[in-house]
Amino acid sequence: MLIPGSHADILEKKAFASVATIGPSGEPQNNPVWFGWDGSLIRFSQTRTRQKYRNMRADRRVSLSILDPDDPYRYLEIRGDVVDVEDDPDLTFINSMAHKYLGLDRYPWHQPGDERVVIVVEPTHTTTMG
């Protein structure tokens, strides 16, 4: 198991993951996302029009830094590879994240025409603190 038992609980909390990718000119890009964890893979939602999506299509390596919302001096960093991109036409995944993070049944910021996908990441390395 790549995720240390000492920090696995962070993945079940309402923590935000800062996802880092490499942009087209080699520059790092980082922004927070909601995420889901199924015990082996991390999933998060993106739209096809975002730069982060294009970055991951060009280079499947990503890094996620997740602070424990109950102790900001405790964190889990996960490096991994995007192993799949799943279509989410019915917004099933993003709605499940809205439920987890906001207690709502529907994602409130959906825009007509947004093509949502679920990015699936397989962890390959972890670092922890705290």
Q: What is the secondary structure of 66-121 as a DSSP string? A: EEETTEEEEEEEEEEEEEEEEE-TT-HHHHHHHHHHHS-SS-TT--TT--EEEEEE
Q: Does 90 map to a domain? A: yes
Q: What is the pLDDT of residue 1?
A: 65
Within a domain: 3: no
Q: Residue 79's Cα: distance from chain center in Å? A: 11
Sign of CA dihedral 82, 88, 41, 32: positive
Q: Residue 126 corresponds to which amino acid?
A: T
Residue 1 belongs to some domain of the structure: no
| Domain that includes residue 85, residue range | 8-129
pLDDT of residue 75: 97
pLDDT band at 2 (very low <50, low <70, confident <90, very high): confident
Rounded to 5°, angle at Cα 3 from 91 and 12: 45
Backbone angles phi, psi at 23, to 5 degrees: -80, 175
CATH of the domain at 54: 2.30.110.10
CB-based burial label for 10 (10 Å; 0-12, 13-18, 19+): buried
On whether residue 2 sits in a domain, the answer given is: no
User: What integer pLDDT is reported at residue 76 of this predicted model?
Assistant: 97
The structural domain count of the chain equals 1
pLDDT(79) > 90: yes
pLDDT digits (tens, 9 = 90+) for 104-129: 999 999 988 899 999 999 999 999 99
pLDDT digits (tens, 9 = 90+) for 12-67: 999 999 999 999 999 999 999 999 999 999 999 999 999 999 999 999 999 999 99
Mention every residue, 6+ apart, whose C-beta is less than 8 A from residue 85: 56, 57, 117, 118, 119, 120
Q: Is residue 56 part of a domain?
A: yes
- Is position 120 within any domain? yes
* Residues 90-106 pLDDT 10s: 999 999 999 999 999 99
Does residue 24 lie in a domain region? Answer: yes
| pLDDT exceeds 90 at position 70 | yes
